Structure formats: structure tokens, C-alpha cells
Amino acid sequence: MSYKSVIFDMDGLLFDTEVVYYEASQLVADRMGFPYDKELYLTFLGVSDEEVGANYHQIFAEFGKNNVKKFIEETYEETIKRFSAGKVQLKPGVLELLDFLEEKQIPKVVASSNQRHIIELLLEKKQLSRYFDTIISAENVQRAKPDPEIFLLAHQYLGTQKHETLILEDSQNGILAASSAGIPVIMIPDLLLPSDDLKEKTVAVFSSLHEVPEFLKQ
């Protein structure tokens, strides 16, 4: 096996969180009368919370700063409520891949633009914490994806050569970050399919994590 360590994104890759984020956002937007839809949500896939918030303040400026702040806060509260209730599903193939990597004694880390306490909550709810050596989260970096900082930090922790390290990602920003870091990346698209240009930045594009173990056996 040519890869000696694996870096996992989280949202849309390990967990089917994107649908939860969208449903929570839509619920609060409808309640507050904000013009929100799935198309708008999709424009922020793989974007940091800070950047999403800044965009919301621009897009919904006519509703007033305080109302936009309330929208962001209530969406966050609704999301956490759903996470805490265990309403997030694992993406297909997660357990099989993690067990395969455990068997091969391959170190694994989570590198996510999300906040650490949310990452820990989701991992603990599905009993996945034991699989990962560490977590690199939003708190550890100054710049969000597509900046490569988070992947460079994860790579530094793992200590493997870049060509021996594999990143698993679902979003455009994640692929761009991996490419800028000079680390091989496989894309498992979640809500948006990649363009041809984006595909060229990957070593493979798979429909689910089920396909990754066979790829690694090559």
C-alpha cells in the first residue's frame, strides 16, 4: 500500500451533515421571513462559518444587522439540537474504510473547517473518536479552505511524506486546498459534482467511500 496516512474532511465526507445544516437554515429562514433556498445554501459548501456569516450579513443586509445575527445564532442552535439528538447519519462506507485502515495500522486524522466541539460531538455520537489520532479544526488555523493551511498542519502532525499521505474530501474548496498543499486527494462528491478542471486536481473521484479500500489495495 503506497499511502501511509490518511486525512479526512468531516462535513459531507464522514457525516451527512450538509442536509442537517440546510434544513436548520431553511427552518429558521422561513420562520424569520428570510429569502433562503437550497441554491443559496449550496454556494457555501466547504466554506468556513466566519465566511458564511459575513456573506449572510451582505445578502440579508436589508433585514438589519441584529436580525441577521439572530438568524445565524438560531440556525446554529437548531443545528446543535439536531446533532445532539443523534440525527446525523454516517456517509456510506465510513466504517468499512476506517476498519480497513485500522487493520493496516494507517494513522488517521480529521482536518475540518468546523469547530472542535462540533467535530468531537459528532465523532462521539457515532463512536468514531477511537479511530483518529488527532483533530485539526477551525481553532487551529488562521485561514480556511481553499487555503492549504489546515492540510499542511495535518500533514506536519502525521509526519509522512506528502506523496505517502492521502486526503479524502467532498467539496471544491477542500480539493483546491489539497491541491495547493501538494498532497494527493480523492474526491467523494456530496451535494455538488466536480467540474472537469476540479477532477484533474484529484487522483480519483468515487461515488462513495466504499470504493476507497479497493483503490488503496492497488
Catalytic residues: 9
Strand order in the sheet with 5-8: 134-136, 108-111, 5-8, 165-169, 185-187, 204-205
Helix 116-125 vs helix 65-84: crossing angle, to nearest 10: 30
Chain center to CA of 80: 16
Question: Would you say 141 and 149 are in contact if contact means Cβ atoms under 8 Å apart?
Answer: yes
The count of C-alpha atoms lying within 13 angstroms of the C-alpha of 213, restricted to the half-sphere facing its C-beta, is 14
Cβ-based neighbours of 205, under 8 Å, separated by 6 or more = 186, 187, 188, 189, 194, 199
